[in-house]
Amino acid sequence: MSNITLDLNEYELFEEKSLVTDKRLTFIYGKNGTGKSTLASIIKSQEKNYNVHIFQGFLGVVDEEQKLNTVVLGVENVDINRQIREIQESISLLEKEIQNIENETTKQKDNSVNLWEKVNDKKEELNKQEVSIKEFCINSASRIKNYYLKVISQKQYNLNDFLKEIPEAKQLTEQEVQDAKSTLSSKVKNAEMLDSIDINLESCLKELNQILSHKVDEQEILVEMVGDNNKIKFADNGLNCHKPNDKCAFCGGLVTSERYQKLQKFFSVEDINILKNKIDIFLKKIETHKKK
């Protein structure tokens, strides 16, 4: 150990505030309690360039089995060996726990009751319940098919049909049961005969076709209204509510005598009036048929 300077300011045990060693070999000796071990700890903490090991008696370099050998010699190796022992104990505990689980989840040769036996019993109970439920559903579907098929729409009814209807099923109240029985036991009632309705639709169709095929000659042709039924209907209504030289209620324009006479000629044709009457009579007849 050479050229080492130790800072002793924080240690009241020493009178000197520093220690310098400049020899290849330095011996530090003294009675117990004079600070030898403290100096060794200071060297280890302050001089990181040196591999310092502190011997604190044989208890620090032997393992839990009081063995001293090259494997466990040294403080770090003793700690590692202790950790290994702890891990081995944990492994041993886990192995015991695994063995206990295996004993509980596998069938025992001595037929002792364990978790496996309980699970197996529950599985058998579950299988019995599933078989019982399936038998109930099959029998129920058979009853519906044999006794009630007349009142359901489909021709075939089986287990799958019954299972599909289970989610929609509900428990009927006593009153609902009585109402259903009352409905099923109701007597058949004969409806009263209605008077025959004498409507000849074929003749109505022929009459309509005759009206649609009827043509009339107009004495006065108003080009602006030809082919526009809305304008013709509007002008017809305006003719009935205006007089010559009135202001039009729609546009405010003047209804001249000349215009008024043209409209009169346009709508006063005798054939038109006859056709109008036919249409009105036909519409009333159809309305009467609809009411019947």
Summarised one tens digit per residue, pLDDT across range 83-124 is 888 899 999 999 999 988 888 888 877 777 888 888 888 999
Q: Quickly count: other Cβ atoms within 10 Å of residue 266's Cβ.
A: 19
Phi–psi pair at 23, nearest 5 degrees:
-110, 160
How many helices (DSSP H) and strands (DSSP E) are in the chain?
9, 2
What SS3 class is residue 277?
helix
Q: 217 and 271 in contact (C-beta within 8 Å)?
A: yes
281 and 209 within one domain: yes
Phi–psi pair at 173, nearest 5 degrees:
-75, 165
210 and 159 within one domain: no
199 vs 243: CA distance, rounded Å:
44
227 vs 139: CA distance, rounded Å:
75
**Domain-embedded: residue 147:** yes
Q: Is the C-alpha dihedral spanning 158, 159, 164, 167 positive or negative?
A: positive
283 and 206 within one domain: yes
Q: Distances from the Cα of 191 to the Cαs of 160, 194, 197, in angstroms?
A: 40, 9, 17
Mean pLDDT of the residues in the chain = 80
**Overall domain count for the chain:** 3
Name the nearest CA neighbour of 150 among 186, 188, 184. Answer: 184
pLDDT in tens, 214-258: 776 555 656 666 667 788 788 878 877 888 888 888 888 888 888
223 and 165 within one domain: no
Name the nearest CA neighbour of 262 among 224, 222, 217. Answer: 222
**Domain-embedded: residue 184:** no
283 and 205 within one domain: yes
pLDDT in tens, 165-199: 888 888 889 999 898 888 877 777 788 887 777 88
Boundary-marking domain end, from 114, 145, 179: 179
21: Cβ contacts below 8 Å, ≥ 6 apart: 1, 2, 3, 4
pLDDT in tens, 19-62: 888 888 888 888 887 888 888 888 888 887 877 777 666 555 55
Residue with tokens 């089986």: 158
| Residue 251 confidence (pLDDT) | 81
| Residue 135 confidence (pLDDT) | 92
**Domain-embedded: residue 269:** yes
Assign 71 a pLDDT band (cuts: 50, 70, 90).
Answer: very low
168 and 233 within one domain: no
280 and 218 within one domain: yes
**Domain-embedded: residue 89:** no
213 and 162 within one domain: no
149 vs 154: CA distance, rounded Å:
8
| Residue 264 structural domain | 201-291
223 and 164 within one domain: no
281 and 215 within one domain: yes
287 and 206 within one domain: yes
**Domain-embedded: residue 262:** yes
| Residue 131 confidence (pLDDT) | 93
Q: 61 and 74 in contact (C-beta within 8 Å)?
A: yes
**Domain-embedded: residue 218:** yes
| Residue 111 confidence (pLDDT) | 73
**Domain-embedded: residue 118:** no
Provide the whole-model pTM: 0.30
211: Cβ contacts below 8 Å, ≥ 6 apart: 275, 278, 279, 282
